[in-house]
Chains A and B, each alone.
Chain A
């Protein structure tokens, strides 16, 4: 029983980090109907940014990760803007495949740029609050795991509030649902798209900072993360924000659970097997498709 709870805690922490990756991915997807294949590499960039900034903070500060988080969010939002300006806006009227290719190109540039700047070694970022381990009824709960879940919940909740209860959120949703109609109604669509890229990249930065402490970060780490985000969004429902979050949690719990019951290679294979079954039996995903134009 203790083992099962322990694995559940680990799975939830991993799922929360996946959820942040998927969230940024689905936001851009909704706003542009284009798949941002650079999202995984943005997570990597956020993680390595935290690694690079950490030594600049005075060593006496008690919670370097928490202090780094807003800085990483802001800088990554800037990188998201740059991504939109370079790889999306010039191609927005071209076929969607142009944007796929341009985001793949940006991802490769980020990977190689990180390899040149940081070297190929795995790096570790500072913990958000501390690297201690709390023990509750025999279950070891690393502080960083709790921090990952808390930050993910906070960011996802904040985003939900903004999108549901503010004028900005309504404009962002209008842009996502029908950009032409939104423009006709006076919504500054281009600005909304830029803002969406910024929020998506900021989410990636937060995920990177959190993942880089518990699971380390290398310049090539983005490839696996974008795959997980893609599966989460497919399982949850193409374009559905709640679906992406639930999909990410399900993926992580599936990985951890099947790895425990059978083996990790079986879990890897079974994950894609289940994905095929979902695509065959419920192609709209668990929460239904918010975006009709599946990429």
Chain B
């Protein structure tokens, strides 16, 4: 696997010279270490795969810099990347605090930041240089709540969320989405990501007699809670957050422990859906030796839209920015278009596990949730 990553990077660096001749490079600045390294690695892999599969003659330099988890490291990485010559666009960190730190510098340097960060605030800064290719909580949590209420016909959800910024944001949007559907959760409680035993919160939730369990947790806690729920013989359905769809999360559980579990996500490449998605998944496995997730696919789609703009004649970062701002792109996960603030993704899906396999099946698509895509 590592050999695959190394050869991919070496391959991209080899063609970097040709890309310099074109005048544009495409640095990848993502968190590869720290608490967001799992998602950051997916992001990097998606970006590298797009650059590798870009149309001939368009491949730019793919310098990868680990931004860790500190805003300063991300800013330093952006300064370093911009110092190496003209940049077409940057595959930028999905960590919200890093994005917020990089945004003023990106505006100053006039470099588009292409990210899959879910932090709502990054597209609320009136900064025209940011483009998010992953649906925000306003989209995914609407789909999450609608599936619970409209498809499962449940009206007494118990919501368990993470106490992190990610969890709080999800909880806030779930509140709004359930309110819009005239449903009030019977239980809402946050848990710290370091909590080892989640049986207490599960017990407290079940004491309120819910008819569905709604989770918005990180990958490890999601698996931990589902394991303990299976041990306890939980009999109500579970609709989890996007962390559940990650193949590495499902790998922590026996297929039987996943029975009756669904999850919202932007996309689930391992579930297939089209020949193009199947080809992406196969290429990803071959290059990185692991299963792709929605973050990888979102970043891949984002970089492919950037490269399509270059192919269509964009010569500068400003050209790329304009193309992303006004254009549309039919990516593998969904159709992308900016809402004027840089939010490009407006669809979400619900996937469900059958209890026999760790590969979920697509249960429901929610397209154009925001009404932006015409």
Interface residues of A in 103-131 (CB under 8 A from B): 112, 115, 119-124, 131
Q: Quote the shortest CB–CB distance from B76 to chain A (angstroms).
A: 18
Report A54 CB to chain B, min CB distance, Å. Answer: 13
Residues in B with CB closer than 8 Å to A290 are none
B159 → A minimal CB distance (Å)? 13
Q: Check A7 for interface membership: any CB of B closer than 8 A.
A: yes
Chain A neighbourhood of B199, CB < 8 A = 6-7, 10, 256
Which residues of A lie under 8 Å from residue B233 when comparing CB positions?
A: 140
| Interface residue A224 (Cβ < 8 Å from any Cβ of B) | yes
In the complex, the answer to whether B252 meets A265 with C-beta atoms within 8 Å is no
| Known pairs A115-B33, A140-B231, A256-B199; A216 contacts B224 (CB<8 A) | yes
A263 at the interface (CB under 8 A from B): yes
Interface residue? B150 (CB, 8 A) = no
Give the residue among B38, B40, B195, B197 with the most A Cβ atoms within 10 A.
Answer: B197
Q: Tell me whether B34 is interfacial, beta carbon within 8 Å.
A: yes
Cα distance, A263 to B192, chains bound together (Å): 10
With A and B bound together, what is the CA distance between A264 and B196 in angstroms? 10
Interfacial chain B residues near A112, Cβ < 8 Å:
33
Question: Which residues of the other chain, A, contact B254 by a CB distance below 8 angstroms?
Answer: 131
The interface-forming segment of B92-100, B119-127, B200-208 is B200-208
A142 vs B190: C-alpha distance in the bound complex, in angstroms?
Answer: 25
Bound-state CA distance A112–B34 (Å) is 9
- A:254-295 near B, CB below 8 Å: 255-257, 259-260, 263-265, 267-268
Q: Are B204 and A263 in contact (CB under 8 A)?
A: yes
Task: Verify A133–B223 contact, CB threshold 8 A.
Answer: no
Tell me if A14 and B197 are in contact (CB < 8 A): yes
Total interface residues in chain A, CB < 8 Å: 36
When C-beta atoms are compared, the residue in chain B nearest to A121 turns out to be: B248
A164 within 8 A of B: no
CB proximity of B365 to chain A, nearest CB, Å: 27
**Does B220 interact with chain A (Cβ within 8 Å)?**
yes
CA–CA, A140 to B223, complex, Å?
Answer: 18
- Within B122-162, which residues are at the interface with A (CB < 8 Å)? none
Bound Cα distance from A73 to B219, whole angstroms: 29
Asked if residues A259 and B223 are in contact (CB atoms below 8 Å), the reply is no
> Whose C-beta in chain B lies nearest to the C-beta of A112?
B33
A220 touches B35 (CB 8 A): yes
**B224 in contact with A115 (CB, 8 Å):** no
Per-residue 0/1 for B237-266: is the Cβ within 8 Å of any A Cβ (1 yes, 0 no)? 000000000001101101000000000000
Complex CA gap A123/B290 in Å reads 14
Determine the main DSSP class of A at the interface with B: helix
A218: chain B residues within 8 A (beta carbon)? 220
Contact status A124-B195, CB under 8 Å: no
Query: Across the interface, which residues of A come within 8 angstroms of B195, CB to CB?
Result: 255, 259, 264, 268
Smallest distance from the beta carbon of B11 to chain A beta carbons, Å?
A: 21
Instruction: Give a binary string over B359-374; 1 marks a CB under 8 Å from any A CB, 0 the rest.
Output: 0000000000000000
Cross-chain contact of A215 among B224, B231, B251 (Cβ < 8 A): B224
| A179 proximal to B (CB < 8 A) | no
Name the contact of A260 in the complex, choosing from B163, B200, B251 (C-beta under 8 A). B200
A166 within 8 A of B: no
- B191 touching A11 by the CB < 8 A rule? no
Chain B residues whose C-beta falls within 8 Å of the C-beta of A263 in the assembled complex: 189-190, 201, 204
Contact with B along A1-16 (1 / 0, CB 8 A): 0010011001100100
Cβ-defined partner of A256 (8 Å) among B41, B197, B223, B249: B197
Check B197 against A255 for contact (C-beta < 8 Å).
yes
B192 lies within 8 A of A3 (CB): no
- Chain B 177-217 per-residue mask, 1 if CB under 8 angstroms from chain A, else 0: 00000000000011110111111110110000000000000
Looking at the assembled complex, report how far the CB atom of A248 sits from the nearest CB atom of chain B, in whole angstroms: 12
Chain B residue at smallest Cβ distance from A219: B37
Most buried by B among A14, A123, A142, A264: A264
Q: Are B220 and A260 in contact, CB atoms less than 8 angstroms apart? A: no
Within 8 Å CB of A140, what residues of B?
231-233
Q: Tell me, rounded to whole Å, the shortest Cβ–Cβ distance linking A86 to chain B.
A: 22
A264 adjacent to B231 (CB under 8 Å): no
CB distance from B29 to the nearest CB of A (A): 17
Q: Which of B35, B191, B231 is in CB contact (< 8 Å) with A133?
A: B231
Provide the B315-357 mask, 1 if CB < 8 A to any CB of A, else 0: 0000000000000000000000000000000000000000000
| Interface contacts beyond A220-B35, A224-B194, A264-B189: sample of 4 additional A-B pairs, CB < 8 Å, sorted by A | A6-B203, A120-B38, A124-B251, A259-B195
Closest 6 CB pairs of A and B: A259-B200, A120-B37, A260-B200, A121-B248, A120-B38, A224-B194
29 pairs of residues in contact across A and B, judged by CB atoms under 8 Å: A6-B232, A7-B200, A11-B197, A14-B197, A115-B32, A115-B37, A119-B41, A119-B290, A120-B33, A120-B40, A121-B38, A121-B219, A121-B251, A122-B248, A124-B252, A142-B231, A215-B224, A220-B35, A224-B194, A255-B197, A256-B200, A259-B201, A263-B189, A263-B204, A264-B189, A264-B191, A264-B201, A265-B163, A268-B195
